[in-house]
Amino acid sequence: MAQLIFLVLLLTVGFFATKRFLRIKNIISLGSEEVISGHRSERLKRLLLIAFGQKKMFERWIPAIMHLFIYVAFLFTQVELIEIIIDGLFGTHRFFVDKIGSLYTLIINFIEFLSLGAFVATIIFLSRRNLLKLARFQKPELNGWPTKDANIILFAEIVLIIGIFSMNGSDYLLQSIEPEHYKSTGHLILSSHLAPVLFGGLDASSLHIIERFGWWLHILVVFGFVLYLPYSKHLHIFLSFPNVYFSKLDSAGKMENMPEIMNEVKSMFGMEVDATSSAMTSGEIPTFGANDITQLSWKNLLDAYSCTECGRCTSVCPANQTGKKLSPRKIMMDVRDRAEIVGESIFDMGVEKEKFDDGKCLFDHISREEIHACTTCNACVQACPVLINPLDIILKLRRYEILTESSGPGDWVPMFNAIENAGSPWQMSVDRDEWSKS
C-alpha cells in the first residue's frame, strides 16, 4: 500500500510540475525572436564559473558563503533523494548502502555537515529579512507576496532538514536493534551524537514511527517544493543555467542597433543599406522598441523568470540610491507579472497571440518616471549574480516611447530638436562642425 501511495504521489507531482514548467516555456516563447549563437566554449566557461560555481555571488563574501552551504547541500541531497525514490517505489531500505560501501558513509556524513550549515544559513537569512530588515529587502516591490514567498522557502528548508536528521538519527539507533533490516550506514558524525540525545531511551516501535515520519517528511517537502517552484522566485534554481549560457558576451556598454535606424543613417551618407530589413521588404513603418512582452525578446522574458529578487541590482543603482523611483529588480518582476497575465489570456482563454489586446501594456506596470530615471550606467547588469540585463528592457521601453509614440519627458525635447536640426545636443546657432572650418 505504501508503495502504491508513493507511486501515485510521484506521478501526480510529476504531471502537474511538468505542465507548469511547459507553460513557462511557452510564455517565454511569446517573446520576439533573438538569435544567440556562437562562442560555445566561452558560454560553457560562463556556465561553469557563474551558474555552477557561483562566481559572482562572492563579490559579497558573507551572504555568498551562507548561500554556498544551501546550494551545495541542495546538490548533494539529490543523492539521498534518488535513494528515497527507489526505496519508495520498490519497498527497499537504504538501497545504496551495500552497493557503494564506505563511500555511502562519506556521502551521508557530507550531506549532514552541509545540512547543518544550511540550517544555520537559513536562520541567518530569515533574520536578515525579518529582524535586521536589510535595506534591499525592504523596498516597495517586495511588499506582500514576494516577502512571503522568500519566507515560505526558507521555512520549508528548515522542515526538510528536520526530516533529514529525524530519519538519519532514528535509523542510526535502529541499526543496533534490528540490523537485519536497518543496514549499517557506518559512523555518522552528527546523527550518532544527536540521536542518543533526541531519541535515546525510546523503544523500537517509537523509533520506527520517527524514522518513517522523517522519511515521509523529507519526500513530501521535496514534492511540495517541486510543485511550488514554478510559482516562486526560486525558479532561478533551474533557469539561471540557460540564462547564464545565453547571456550577452559583448561589452556591457554596447547597445543593440536598430536596423531601420541604421539603414536611414547609411542612406544619408550614401552607404549601402541592408535590403533584407523587415521594414525595407514590407514597406510598413516599423515599430521601435517594445511596449509589451511580445515585443521584448524571448531572452528578456527568460531574464525575468530567472530573477532571484535578491536586489543586488537595485542596491547599486545610482538612481535608486538618490531616491528616484527606478528599481531594476522591480522592472524584472513587472515584466514577469505582465508575462503571466498575457500567458493566461493566450494559453488559458485561447486568444491568438497576434490578436491579443487587453487594452494594457508594460507601461501599466512600469511607469515612465522609472525608465526616465535610468542613467544607463550598467551597474545593475554588472551586479546580477545570474547575468540578467534589466537595462536592455529599459532601453526598449524608452525607444518605444520616443521613436514610436513620439513622446518623452519635456526636458528632453530641446535636445532632440537640436540633434535633428544641428546634429548636436546643444542648442547652438552654428553647425556642429563649424569649428573645423575656421
**210 and 132, same structural domain?**
yes
Residues 302 and 367 in one domain: yes
The answer to whether the CB of 222 falls within 8 A of the CB of 358 is: no
Give 4: exposed, middle or buried? Use CB within 10 Å, 0-12, 13-18, 19+: exposed
Please report whether residue 339 resides in a domain. Answer: yes
Q: 61-90 vs 102-130: helix axis angle to the nearest 10? A: 130
Q: Domain count of the chain?
A: 2
Q: How far is CA 175 from CA 211, 277, 377, in A?
A: 12, 72, 61
Closest to 385 measured CA to CA, from 43, 48, 51: 51
Residue 1 in any domain: the answer is no
Closest CA to 286 of 277, 276, 294: 277
- The predicted-structure confidence for 362-399, as pLDDT tens digits, reads as follows 999 999 999 999 999 999 999 999 999 999 999 999 99
A 10 A CB-CB count for 347 gives 15
* Angle of helix 2-28 versus helix 298-306 axis, rounded to 10: 140
Q: How far apart are CA 4 and CA 9, in angstroms?
A: 9
- What pTM was estimated for this model as a whole? 0.89
Contact of 32 with 296, CB cutoff 8 Å: yes
Answer yes or no: do 133 and 239 share one domain.
no
Express each pLDDT in 204-260 by its tens digit: 999 999 999 999 999 999 999 999 999 999 999 999 999 999 999 888 777 888 887
Do 26 and 124 fall within a single domain?
no
| Segment of 57-61, 180-184, 375-379 carrying the highest mean pLDDT | 375-379
Q: Which of 231, 263, 297 is the last residue of a domain?
A: 231
Indicate if the pLDDT at residue 438 is higher than 70: no
In a domain, 417, yes or no: no
Query: Is 310 contained in some domain?
Result: yes
Residues 164 and 307 in one domain: no
One domain for residues 187 and 73? yes
Indicate the residue among 231, 256, 276 that finishes a domain.
Answer: 231
Question: Which residue range(s) make up the domain with 63?
Answer: 54-231
Are 195 and 305 members of one domain? no
Any domain includes 5: no
Q: How far apart are CA 247 and CA 249, in angstroms?
A: 6
Same domain? For 223 and 97 the reply is: yes
What the block records as the C-alpha cell of 192 is: 550518532
CATH of the domain at 26: 1.10.1060
Please give the average per-residue pLDDT across 24-39, as a whole number.
Answer: 92
**116 with 181, same domain?**
yes
Per-residue pLDDT band for 411 (boundaries 50, 70, 90) equals: confident
pLDDT digits (tens, 9 = 90+) for 123-148: 999 999 999 999 899 999 999 999 99
Residues 6+ apart with CB under 8 A from 201: none
